[in-house]
Chains A and B, each alone.
Chain A
Amino acid sequence: MYEQDTSPNKSSSQMSLVFSGQALEYFKIWIVNIILSILTFGIYSAWAKVRNNRYFYGNTQLDNAAFEYHATPIMILKGRLIAIVALIIYITLSNFYPPAAIVFAIILALVSPWLVWKSLQFNARMMSYRNVRFSFKGALKEAYTILLLIPFIPIILTSIVFLLLYFISGDLSSEEILAILPIAFLATYLLFPHVQQLFTSYYINHQKYGQGDFSTQLSSKKYYKTYLFMILWVSLLIMATSTILALIMAVFTALAGGMDAYTNIQSLGSYDEEMGPAAIEGMIAAMIFMVIPIYLAFIFVGLWAKAYLETHIREYVFHRTQLDQVLRLKSNLAMGKLFMIYATNTLAVIFTMGLAYPWAIIRLTRYKIESIDAIVTGNLSNYVNQQQEKQSALGDEVGNAFDLDLDLGM
């Protein structure tokens, strides 16, 4: 056979992923995508999505080889048409026949694990690296367990409790219902980190590269710890932010109140203890003036929480993920830097009314991609495409239609 290009694969080597997208270059692709989508009443958006994904995949490189996105616009277009029809039905129903909208929402909840499963398959199959495709082999049953059964355990248990109470006392008081329902909802929220862990494990452990298997071992304990610390930090941040905002407000009120005291002394020769009109005006002015800063302050707290979770979860998950015995990953994401990127990106996008979006997304992607290290200990050249098992034409058509972008919180 030919002499292979095996330079980095001889022994263990560590290399960073490289992102070579450029803000200006992407801006031009982005604006053409938008205007053509507008001019074609949204039909071009399917082509736009493909060009967009090809740009981001194609500019992501490991060891001088880029990733590639293979979906065709027609596949995307079908999914979009189905989604838009469903959305229109839902909005029409919720405005005109609210009970039917609830039924529709329940049906959507029942099919959503299937949609997620199909999207995982689609998105994996449409990605390749060095001529070899990724694939997803997770079972549909597991998607239903993780996304539908486990999150609803508290609700199911509550319903059973209600039924039991009803049979014992023959009557349900609204106090009982009001006491138990919040507990059920709280329990659902408390389950979230566990569900996220299960879903991430499901996603990685059934992901394949050619004949190779990705694998990971995650524990929910780490997820709960991360969320707990995030909540503690966020509480502190909110307290600090509120204190600062209240102080600014107090200064406004006091300044205006000083004017009151002045006018009161002048006109009546006495000092009125209650807030005068100017003080109240000052407070109203402060409130109106503060709406935007308060709004931004809480968005920043939200972004901070997002950066905190992403950094910690990514580091944990990447560290425990590998492809056979051949490739391991490492994340060097720094929380402070990620937060600063989120914060400045948000401000830039707001103040340019969206025009800075390409620059913002390229900057974010570059940081996220380039903070990944791959440690290659084997030979990637041995990977080959697996034979696609034949699917029914209909199953393939419908399956191709969905390409939800899933957020693993990383």
Chain B
Amino acid sequence: MQIKGYWYPANSAARYPATLNIQADQFSLVISDQDNLVGKVNTLSVSDRVGNITRKIGLYDQSIFETQANDQIDQLLLNLNHKDKKLHFLHHLETHWHWIATALLLTVVASFSTVYWGLPWASEKLAYSMPKVVSEKVSEGTLDILDKVLLEPSKLDKQQQASIRQHFEETLLSIQAKDNLDISQSANYQLKFRQLDDIPNALALPSGTIIITDALINMADNQAEIDSVLLHEIGHIESRHGLQQIIHSSIVTIGLAMMIGDTTAVEEMLIALPTLLLQSHYSRKHETEADNYAFEKMIQLNIDPIHFAHLFEKMLAWEEQDTATPSRPDEDEQDKANLLSTHPSSPERIQRAREYSKQYF
């Protein structure tokens, strides 16, 4: 076998045309048609093949023979069972269509299942394996900051607050206590009344603190409607949605950083939209879960889930008059808006509450 290429003396950029002749397991390198270097093929160290890049063959005197004759070199390595053929299987994978098709299919399947099942599953497992102290650490100070920047003390009279709180602790929490045999892992539930302009809203911190605004209490016509909101928030806390979202977004950040490496501002803009879509999809899933939790607990407590629907209809009416939009965008537009929304659309949630109600009451 005869292989043409170039030869470089050790450590030098001087280049000489050369020919490598192979006879059985012996080689002889003819440099500039004059001199010979001879030896056994297994003393040569051959670089791994990648695509069709120039192959480098190191000789015992640190000099280098380089050649483009990749196929001949591969043949030689295989024939002589040379030690440097050990990574040759990578080149085999990289050049055979059935392996490429397999790799492509597996990659697509792996990417989609990671995003749709793997990440949520891992976030959930991790969230549940975190000790209670983590939830407390995450929430620590959040209420203080909210009180400083957003919230004002409640203007509800003390008696109303006390009665709602009593109902919350004695009725709503009693069924949590029954569910939760492991007291050390159960959240430390606290109900806080606050004012946020005149916006009806409620939110839950992972530690178990639930904040409900005056406007929401005033909007509710009866205790059952308040219960529906509180149970929804308890649902978030029981399912550790707050922690799950922190873990989920952390994994997405680490994953993208690892995949893309150092991003420039332009590339960051490019990945911002898909990341946002993924996060809001995840958040909508949690809202639906918390709704279902609320519906089931309401049925357990013998409260008609229709109250959830009633309260949400009032919220919808309030939103519409607040944004002064005379009509709702049609359904098709809503679908598009849905992609970016962190909550499922309200009509959908009201519809589900009605279905639950019909089924049990």
Q: Which residues of A contact B (CB under 8 A)?
A: 2-5, 20-22, 25-29, 31-32, 34-35, 38-39, 42, 45, 47, 51, 54-55, 57-59, 65-66, 68, 84, 87-88, 91-92, 95-97, 129-132, 210, 276-277, 280-281, 284-285, 288-289, 295, 298-299, 302-303, 306, 346, 350, 380-385, 404-405, 407
Contact = CB atoms under 8 A, between A and B. Distances in A.
Given A32-B93, A32-B99, A2 B34 contact: yes
Interface in B42-76: 48, 50-54, 56, 64, 66
Given A55-B53, A299-B269, A381 B103 contact: no
Interface residues of B, number: 59
A65 B270 contact: no
List the 7 closest pairs (A to B, CB-CB), nearest first.
A58-B53, A385-B11, A2-B32, A131-B8, A381-B14, A35-B103, A130-B13
A28 B104 CA distance: 9
A35 B106 contact: yes
Contacts of A57: 53
Contacts of A131: 8, 11-13, 64
A31 B51 contact: no
Interface stretch (B150-158, B171-179, B328-336): B328-336
B34 A96 contact: no
A288 B269 CA distance: 18
Contacts of B250: 91-92, 95
Contacts of A39: 106
Interface string B236-276: 00000000001000100110011001101110011001000
Contacts of A298: 269
Nearest to A63: B15
Interface in B86-130: 90, 93-95, 99-100, 102-104, 106-107, 110
A58 B110 contact: no
Contact of B17 (A5, A51, A284): A5
A397 to B, nearest CB: 22
Main secondary structure of the interface of A (DSSP, over half): helix
B31 interface: yes
A88 to B, nearest CB: 7
B333 A29 contact: no
Contact of A96 (B35, B137, B269, B273): B137
B266 A299 contact: yes
A95 B54 CA distance: 49
B134 interface: yes
Interface in B318-361: 325-327, 329-330, 333, 336-337
26 contacts: A2-B32, A5-B15, A28-B100, A31-B107, A32-B90, A34-B107, A35-B103, A38-B107, A51-B90, A54-B53, A58-B50, A58-B54, A59-B52, A66-B53, A68-B54, A84-B258, A87-B254, A88-B254, A91-B254, A95-B246, A96-B138, A130-B8, A132-B11, A276-B326, A288-B333, A302-B266
B50 A51 contact: yes
Given A28-B95, A58-B51, A91-B254, A4 B15 contact: yes
Given A2-B35, A31-B107, A132-B12, A97 B50 contact: no
Contacts of A288: 329, 333, 336-337
Contacts of B269: 295, 298-299, 302
A95 B38 CA distance: 64
Interface string B162-200: 000000000000000000000000000000000000000
B13 A25 contact: no
Given A54-B53, A130-B15, A405-B262, 7 more contacts: A4-B14, A29-B51, A31-B104, A35-B103, A130-B8, A306-B264, A405-B261
Contacts of B110: 35, 38
A3 B266 contact: no
Contacts of A95: 138, 246, 250
B327 A281 contact: yes
A64 B5 CA distance: 11
Nearest to B254: A87
A373 to B, nearest CB: 20
B166 to A, nearest CB: 34
Given A38-B110, A55-B53, A381 B333 contact: no
Nearest to B134: A96
Contacts of A299: 266, 269-270
Contacts of B99: 32
Contacts of A5: 6, 15-17
Nearest to B337: A288
Nearest to B251: A91
B284 to A, nearest CB: 17
Contact of A26 (B8, B16, B51, B64): B51
B137 A31 contact: no
Contact of A384 (B6, B12, B52, B104): B12
A55 B51 contact: yes
A54 B56 CA distance: 12
A289 B53 CA distance: 47
Contacts of B95: 28
A54 B14 CA distance: 22
